[in-house]
């Protein structure tokens, strides 16, 4: 199989590339950097491109059997008007350009990144793929992002909108940000700690994306998260127990809002998501609970 990975230089993209190459696949990865931060491989090619703009990179889609779109500006920044525009355009313009390019390609699958932020903040409500979208900036971006990807269905493409939970892994993602307070013995819940946290280990995420390429019944929105979401306060206790650090110092919600601005709404939001479609398709998790995930990551 030949897989085209848009955003292949990022945390998820590099891991997925390694897994695909290990299984004997060919990979074409794109990024904005001048070179790909992986060892050269005879079945790996790299294309430097700004995918929010049309360009020659679109020609490299022609040989792909499947396309994975991971492009998107990180949400972890000060949400000024300009930054919110970058968050939105990096996702939607890239997706529009990819879908446009699929018309002349021979591949039949697009896995397009989305996020559980699609659901907004929903308290204790259990959210599977049939749950309606939520309100707020991330919910609105998620709806438009997925709508752009689903245009591919009009061309006969199988489209999977991959609603990622928070991705946990050793070499990137949210883990370093989460662990910093614990290193200074000031780790604790965010706000009241009651909000639900939907997450997935990076190894399970990459395995699930490969699983999707092999299971054609999977299409439309798919929650890429572990089957056991946890409350923020429970996750905090687990991290503290593994690290041998106290967890009794909460960060008040007003302080988070004062420091983070509008981003605080995302940090304090509650999404209790379950991966109904992946479980129904018999996908097997290596790290179904968050303690096993953190122990694997922190032991490294």
Q: Where are the domains of the chain?
A: 2-169+197-227+272-288
Q: How many whole angstroms separate alpha carbon 296 and alpha carbon 286?
A: 11
Torsion angles phi and psi, residue 207, rounded to 5: -65, -40
Can you say how many angstroms the Cα of residue 87 is from the centroid of all Cα atoms in its chain?
Answer: 14
Contact present, 111 and 160 (Cβ < 8 Å): yes
- Nearest-Å Rg of the Cα atoms of the chain is 19
Quote the tokens at residue 232. 């923020």
pLDDT in tens, the chain (300 residues): 999 999 999 999 999 999 999 999 999 999 998 877 778 899 999 999 999 999 999 988 888 999 999 999 999 888 999 999 999 999 999 999 999 998 755 668 999 999 999 999 999 999 999 999 999 999 999 999 999 999 999 999 999 999 999 999 987 777 877 887 877 777 889 999 999 999 999 999 999 999 999 999 999 999 999 999 999 999 999 999 998 988 878 888 888 788 778 888 888 999 999 999 999 999 999 999 999 999 999 886
End-to-end CA distance of the chain: 31
Q: Which residue has the tokens 């049309």?
A: 54
CATH label, 2-169+197-227+272-288, candidates 3.20.20.70, 3.40.190.10, 3.40.50.720, 3.40.50.300: 3.40.50.720
Instruction: Provide the pLDDT for residue 94.
Output: 97
């Amino acid at each position: 199989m030949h897989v085209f990975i848009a955003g292949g230089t990022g945390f998820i993209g590099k891991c997925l590339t390694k897994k695909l190459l290990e299984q004997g696949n060919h990979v074409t990865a794109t990024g904005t950097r001048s070179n790909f931060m992986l060892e050269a491989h005879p079945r790996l090619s790299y294309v430097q491109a700004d995918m929010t703009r049309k360009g020659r990179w679109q020609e490299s889609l022609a040989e792909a059997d499947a396309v994975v779109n991971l492009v998107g500006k990180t949400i972890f920044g000060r949400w000024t008007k300009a930054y919110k525009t970058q968050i939105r355009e990096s996702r939607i313009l890239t997706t529009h350009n990819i879908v446009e390019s699929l018309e002349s390609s021979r591949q039949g699958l697009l896995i397009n990144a989305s996020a559980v932020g699609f659901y907004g903040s929903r308290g204790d409500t259990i959210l599977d793929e049939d749950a309606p979208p939520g309100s707020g900036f991330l919910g609105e971006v998620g709806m438009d992002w997925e709508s752009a990807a689903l245009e591919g269905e009009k061309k006969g493409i199988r489209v999977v909108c991959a609603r990622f939970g928070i991705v946990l892994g050793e070499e990137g993602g949210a883990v370093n940000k989460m662990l910093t307070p614990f290193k200074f013995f000031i780790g604790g819940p965010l706000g009241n700690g009651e909000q639900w946290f939907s997450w997935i280990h990076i190894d399970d995420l990459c395995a699930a994306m490969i699983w999707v390429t092999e299971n054609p019944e999977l299409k439309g929105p798919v929650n890429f998260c572990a089957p056991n979401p946890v409350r923020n306060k429970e996750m905090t206790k687990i991290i503290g127990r593994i690290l041998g650090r106290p967890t009794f110092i909460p960060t008040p919600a007003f302080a988070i809002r004062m420091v983070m601005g509008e981003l605080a709404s995302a940090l304090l939001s509650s999404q209790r998501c379950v991966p109904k479609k992946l479980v129904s398709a018999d996908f097997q998790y290596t790290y179904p609970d968050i303690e096993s995930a953190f122990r694997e990551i922190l032991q490294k």
